[in-house]
Amino acid sequence: MSRIVAALAVSAGLILICAGAERAPLEAAFGGTIISTYPDGRTAELWLQRDGAYSARGRRGDPSSGHWQTKGDQLCLKQSRPFPAPFSFCTPMPDGGVGASWSAKAVTGEPIRVTLVKGRGGRSGGTRSAAAPNS
C-alpha cells in the first residue's frame, strides 16, 4: 500500500503542470520533466506522453507508470505498474509552461513544490532512462 501511495503522490503533484485539456498547453509537459520537491528535500519526476501514458520515478527512486486522461478541467492518473492502482487520482490543471513552479499537495496530503523543466533527463545526470522515454 505504501508503494501505491508513493507512486500516486509522485503523479498527483507532478501532473499539475497541464494548463487545460487542449493539446497546446500540454506540449511543454510532453517534452519536459515535471519535478515535485517534497518537504524532506527529495524529488520525484514525471514524464507525460502524448498517447496518454506516463512514467515516473518516485522520491524513493521507485519507477511507476500508467495512463492519464483529462476530465473537465482536471488531469487524472491511473497507475498500472508496478501494480494496478485501485483508483485514479485527479487534480486541477493550472496554467504553466517550462520554468513554471507552484505549490501543490501530494495525494498523501503533503505540501510539495512542482516545477516543469525542459528536457527528458532523469536523476542519472540528465541521461535518458527507462523512466524517461522519448516523447
pLDDT of residue 129: 40
133 in a structural domain: no
Mean pLDDT along residues 9-14 = 48
Asked if residues 47 and 63 have their Cβ atoms less than 8 Å apart, the reply is no
30 in a structural domain: yes
Above pLDDT 90, what percent of the chain?
Answer: 31
Domain count across the chain: 1
Mean pLDDT highest for which of 71-75, 90-94, 101-105, 107-111? 107-111
Q: What SS3 state is found at 32?
A: strand
Q: What is the pTM of this model?
A: 0.72
Q: What SS3 state is found at 87?
A: coil
134 in a structural domain: no
Mean pLDDT along residues 1-27 = 48
Q: 97 φ, ψ to 5°?
A: -155, -170
101 compared with 5, residue with greater pLDDT: 101
Confidence of residue 122 (pLDDT cuts 50, 70, 90): low
126 in a structural domain: no
* Strand (E) or helix (H) holding 117: strand 111-118
For residue 107, pLDDT beyond 70:
yes
Q: Which domain covers residue 90, as residue numbers?
A: 2-118
Q: What is the pLDDT of residues 38-56, one digit of tens each?
A: 999 999 998 989 999 999 9
Report the alpha-carbon angle 118-115-122, nearest 5: 55
CATH of the domain at 98: 2.40.128
108 in a structural domain: yes
